Structure 1
Amino acid sequence: MTGTRSLLDSFRARVFRLGGGAALALLVAGCGGDSWFGESSFEPHPGERQGVLIQERGLATAPHSNRPVVLPDPEPNEDWPQSGGYSHHAMQHMVADGPLTELWTTRIGSGSTKRGKLLNSPIVAEGLVFTIDRRASVRAFDARTGRKVWDVSLPERGTEERDGDFLGGGIAYEDGRIFATTGFAKVVALDAASGTELWRASMDAPVRAAPTVNSGRVVVVTLGNQTVALAAADGSKLWVHSGVAESTSLMGTPAPAIDQGIVVVAYSSGEVFALRLESGTEIWADSVTAVRRTDAAGLLYDIRANPIIDGNRVYFIGNSGLMVGMDLRSGGRAWQLRVAGTQSPWIAGDVLYLVSEDAELAAVSASSGEVLWSFSLPRWNKASKQKGALFWIGPILVSDRLIVGCSDGYVYSFSPYTGKLLGQIELSSAMVTTPVVADGILYFLTEKGRLVAFH
């Protein structure tokens, strides 16, 4: 793949500078790797730890704690029914027995183009994997074989919807139903077993975020910064909450988090709210914004990463340069950290893992906001010329590995305890959404619309 050698050279040089016992895979999976994720026995020479990137701010300059990383034991999860796993988005530490090899691969329909993008991950339930492509076609595949079970095109016949490429759209599952949001401002419920349409509801604006479903309520956030709750049974509108409308935003919108009867939403204005699931009544409100350096993206206060509810805490990270841990019921801030991100963090025990906009992979204490470790990832395919910007996706935590995708077409694994690089596998094209894991199978969705399963 173009640029792969330069990226691997960058990683190798970076690991030499960082020192320690990181292992760099020399070959892709199936070509000599001898453990879980294409790992090898390569050991870099020890060296003095030093900063790799010079930047105005970031985790590389934050004080680092000497506290060791302690994680809960890996546990199996049978399903991945929504964006972020379950409605609270706190999936902890999951299991996939290695070594991993490709189980199957299939096309989900139309992949990403300049006009339309794949923005949301597949979901897994009832032994099926469900996907939505850029033209709002939903498909179901057998999780073990990749065989297509059914497919449904959501745009209505005889309308302009049939001719368009749509930005956004996602899916969720609950109680035998698939709920799909679309870039043409519709929410559609389908029977999970057959794909039969059950109901359809119209929104006031397109929906880029995947829906979140809990206790018979389907909660969606529109591009107009409205949160709408629908009855899962028939699509009737139960309540609406509105934030401040924004004229511009990043591509992609976070799915709400729901737990303990509370809905937590984030808008492109940087506003965050806790609402009662039953009524939509505001419990508290805040703004997760910070003054960011002068790059164009930093001028957007957007929050693209899913919020996380874990016990009595809720966590947000925004593009403008702030990550916060807050009390779920009062909205009081327990801590804040100056870091920007658009990728959803991952929580496991007292550790939050994240990939920042400054291409830093880091572990942060969920209780205090202390940085436990950070590792600077390559930012360019050709670092010497600063050409070919790289985009990082993830992480997720599986069997003591942090899995992170890169726009170079590779997926990398890192130690969750130290940040050391462990291994890699190569996909047919770049991963575009956060990987998911269910019943011991990892699923990756590529920009060309290929779904790849590893087991």
Structure 2
Amino acid sequence: MTYRVSSRSVAALSLLAFSLSACETLDQFITPGVKVEVKGERVAVLPSASAVEVDPKLKNDPVVLPKPVVNAEWPQPGGYADNVMHHLSAVGKLNREWSSSIGSGSSSDTRLTASPVVSAGKVYVLDSQVNVSAYDAKSGDRLWRVDLTPNDEDAEEGFGGGVAVDGDKLFVSTGFGFVAALNAKNGKEIWRRSATVPFRAAPVVNGGRVFVATQENQLMALAEDDGRVLWDHRGIAESAGILGSNSVAVSGDLVVVPYTSGELFALNVRNGRPVWSDTLARSGGLTPLSSLADISGRPVIDRGLVFANSHAGRLVAIDMRTGERAWTIDVGGTQRPWVVGDYVYVITDNAQVLCVRRADGRVRWIHQLDAYRDPEGRRGAIAWSGPVLVSDRLVAVSSEGYAVSISPYTGQVLGQIDIPDKAFIAPIVANNTVYVLTDDARLTALR
């Protein structure tokens, strides 16, 4: 058996960090029922509590967005390699078209983290026990399934990683520490490349290269045709991070990789040499959770700027060539910024949706989502994933088993629908259909 670090042992602190997101606040340790008067000015002390405000000068400026377009595919974890999808189309009330079980969902020992992808009329998914499946995008019928668990391993050890499609190949990264290329038509394995530690990130394919990061903040560039290692790059190793399946962003000759250390590197795609780097970590966190610098949301490359968001409390726009920051907002988050037209939409880690001007980082509007099941007692934190912009609606899913749609123009709630279970993976969109993968491993098509 090839020596490697156990996915479960490496991810233990990540699971702890995930659990901490639902911790109670310090207010609950004050004697219940006793009102305490606190003198002085209230100041935000945690990254998620930053006092971001709407710019009053933008109050009367209309938000104008490009028209929705139909995208036939969503082949990469973030849609395309640069993680930019703009304004997508899915007209109508989004009724359930079909719903299928993809295998094993989250449990006390595993987590479902991989985003589905769509290509050539098929939806490809990876469950929490390393089963890879293909489904007909129109009917939801399963076309094939492959179990990638090694013979001498426990399937529950292999969670993590993700999937990506390029042409007739499906690429899979796993918590067992290998990347495999499969025939997208039937699931037959073409090649496999092993590492010594689990892969935490989903693969991204571009220009004949497969980019994927390990649990120890090592980015590997593999040849798409045979899996040989072309180069690798290492960031600072971190023992803890936010549980999820992140991925790089690629545009032109640059690949931007986010690490759990809060480091953001722009590398040359041909040789892995750093072009520039930044860190989105902040000092002064009062708890272990607030000090996590993980960039767990996918970075975005759009029209010469890189957008990234860290859990430690930094949303930034960076010039992709020079590495100089265009602007910074002190808000934390774990979700990918959604960039479209002249605006950036992002969900913060205190459940606020921000509409930010792309050019200068000024906030146009803020909408507060439900943050707790018990708002008065601040108990039962609610996690949000998304948003995606589809037919003039920002759609986000929650850990409470429902999804909301918000106006991208005003921030007002447009509607709410129930989904089969809690969800921690952002929806994807392809061919006028929204796909939601819930934590119980049920894939639902809304059309």
Give the TM-score normalised by the residue count of structure 2: 0.87
2-structure distance, mates of 1:172, 1:363: 29
2:295 is the alignment partner of 1:303: yes
Q: Name the SS for the 1:298 alignment partner.
A: coil
Match for residue 338 of structure 1?
330
Aligned residues: 401
Cα deviation, residue 179, structure 1: 0.3
Task: Pick the aligned partner of 1:78 from 72, 76, 79.
Answer: 72
RMSD: 1.5
2-structure distance, mates of 1:427, 1:216: 37
Contact 2:52 2:331 in 1 (8 A): no
Contact 1:115 1:166 in 2 (8 A): no
Contact 2:149 2:158 in 1 (8 A): no
Aligned residue type for 1:251: L
2-structure distance, mates of 1:253, 1:273: 18
2:246 is the alignment partner of 1:231: no
Cα deviation, residue 384, structure 1: 2.2
1-structure distance, mates of 2:240, 2:378: 27
Do the aligned partners of residues 292 and 153 (structure 1) sit closer, same or farther apart at CA in structure 2, a change above 3 Å counting? Answer: farther
Alignment of 1:318-357 (within 5 A): 318-357=310-349
Alignment of 1:410-429 (within 5 A): 410-429=402-421
1-structure distance, mates of 2:107, 2:427: 20
2:207 is the alignment partner of 1:186: no
Task: Pick the aligned partner of 1:370 from 351, 362, 376.
Answer: 362
Q: Name the SS for the 1:269 alignment partner.
A: coil
Alignment of 1:124-143 (within 5 A): 124-143=118-137
Of 377-386 and 432-441, more deviation after overlay is shown by 377-386
Match for residue 83 of structure 2?
89
Contact 1:117 1:166 in 2 (8 A): no
Cα deviation, residue 295, structure 1: 3.5
Aligned residue type for 2:126: I
Task: Pick the aligned partner of 2:158 from 166, 169, 191.
Answer: 166
Of 383-392 and 235-244, more deviation after overlay is shown by 383-392
Match for residue 437 of structure 2?
445
Contact 1:59 1:374 in 2 (8 A): no
Match for residue 116 of structure 1?
110
Aligned residue type for 2:410: T
2-structure distance, mates of 1:307, 1:383: 31
2-structure distance, mates of 1:285, 1:356: 23
Q: Name the SS for the 2:311 alignment partner.
A: coil
Match for residue 144 of structure 2?
150
Aligned residue type for 1:153: D
Match for residue 281 of structure 2?
289
Contact 2:54 2:365 in 1 (8 A): no
Cα deviation, residue 385, structure 1: 2.4
Match for residue 38 of structure 1?
none
Match for residue 32 of structure 2?
none
Match for residue 315 of structure 1?
307
Match for residue 389 of structure 1?
381
2-structure distance, mates of 1:269, 1:131: 28
Give the TM-score normalised by the residue count of structure 1: 0.86
Cα deviation, residue 345, structure 1: 1.2
2-structure distance, mates of 1:276, 1:168: 26
Of 200-209 and 123-132, more deviation after overlay is shown by 200-209
Q: Name the SS for the 2:290 alignment partner.
A: helix
Contact 2:114 2:127 in 1 (8 A): no
1-structure distance, mates of 2:203, 2:84: 16
Of 55-64 and 360-369, more deviation after overlay is shown by 55-64
2-structure distance, mates of 1:359, 1:225: 28
Q: Name the SS for the 2:238 alignment partner.
A: coil
Contact 1:107 1:449 in 2 (8 A): yes
Q: Name the SS for the 2:289 alignment partner.
A: helix
2-structure distance, mates of 1:250, 1:293: 16
Cα deviation, residue 166, structure 1: 3.0
Match for residue 33 of structure 1?
none
Q: Name the SS for the 2:100 alignment partner.
A: strand
Do the aligned partners of residues 436 and 235 (structure 1) sit closer, same or farther apart at CA in structure 2, a change above 3 Å counting? Answer: same
Superposed CA deviations along residues 70-124 of structure 1, whole A, max 9, x for unmatched, are 1111111000001110000010000011022111000000001121111121000
Cα deviation, residue 296, structure 1: 2.8
Alignment of 1:35-54 (within 5 A): none
1-structure distance, mates of 2:156, 2:423: 23
Contact 1:59 1:362 in 2 (8 A): no
Do the aligned partners of residues 103 and 292 (structure 1) sit closer, same or farther apart at CA in structure 2, a change above 3 Å counting? Answer: farther
2:377 is the alignment partner of 1:401: no
1-structure distance, mates of 2:184, 2:206: 17
Cα deviation, residue 311, structure 1: 1.4
Percent identity of paired positions between Structure 1 and Structure 2: 40
2-structure distance, mates of 1:153, 1:289: 38
Contact 1:68 1:372 in 2 (8 A): no
Structure 1: which 5+ runs fail to align? 1-52
Contact 2:91 2:432 in 1 (8 A): yes
2:253 is the alignment partner of 1:267: no
1-structure distance, mates of 2:249, 2:270: 14
Aligned residue type for 1:173: V
2:195 is the alignment partner of 1:203: yes
Contact 1:292 1:320 in 2 (8 A): no
Of 291-300 and 430-439, more deviation after overlay is shown by 291-300
2-structure distance, mates of 1:54, 1:97: 44
Alignment of 1:252-263 (within 5 A): 252-263=244-255
Q: Name the SS for the 1:297 alignment partner.
A: coil
2-structure distance, mates of 1:316, 1:362: 14
Cα deviation, residue 292, structure 1: 5.2
Aligned residue type for 2:407: S
1-structure distance, mates of 2:367, 2:422: 22
Aligned residue type for 1:194: N
2-structure distance, mates of 1:434, 1:245: 27
